[in-house]
Amino acid sequence: MSGDSVNKMLVRLGIAQIDGMFCRQEDYPIDDSEFLPLVEAVLTGFKMAGIDEGVAEAVWEHAFDVYDQACKEAEPASTTADNRLLMQSYLLGKRRKSRKR
């Protein structure tokens, strides 16, 4: 199996994991302050396993997109930039960003 096909398979796996986590969150919601660090832990596992940085970034972008969609369902006037910043405000690692109040 070539490196490209392995990376594509890893991206699909990561996307499936993120989709599964967000589906579970819809069915059995917990506060974002608890949920998003769990998402972060799964995504950090890609880096810890030495998986290609491009794979990890693709899966992170998918997670941001899914969170953005969920935010827009709850608050249609929210912007993608605001939703991304909101998600990042709940993270614990290097991707964390503080929200402006």
- Say if 16 falls within a structural domain: yes
- Say if 85 falls within a structural domain: yes
- Say if 100 falls within a structural domain: no
- Say if 29 falls within a structural domain: yes
Token pair in block for residue 89 = 């405000």
Domain that includes residue 51, residue range = 3-90
Token pair in block for residue 46 = 């890609």
Inform me whether the pLDDT recorded for 101 exceeds 60. no
Query: What whole-number percentage of the chain has pLDDT above 70?
Result: 96
Q: Which residue has the higher pLDDT, 99 or 79?
A: 79
pLDDT of amino acid 35:
98
pLDDT of amino acid 20:
97
As for how many domains the chain has, the answer is 1
- Say if 101 falls within a structural domain: no
Residues whose CB is less than 8 angstroms from the CB of residue 40 and which lie 6 or more positions away in sequence, other chains included:
91, 92, 93, 95
pLDDT in tens, 31-60: 999 999 999 999 999 888 889 999 999 999
Residue 78 DSSP class: -
- Say if 97 falls within a structural domain: no
pTM above 0.85, yes or no: yes
- Say if 98 falls within a structural domain: no
Burial-class residue 73 by CB neighbours within 10 Å (0-12, 13-18, 19+): exposed
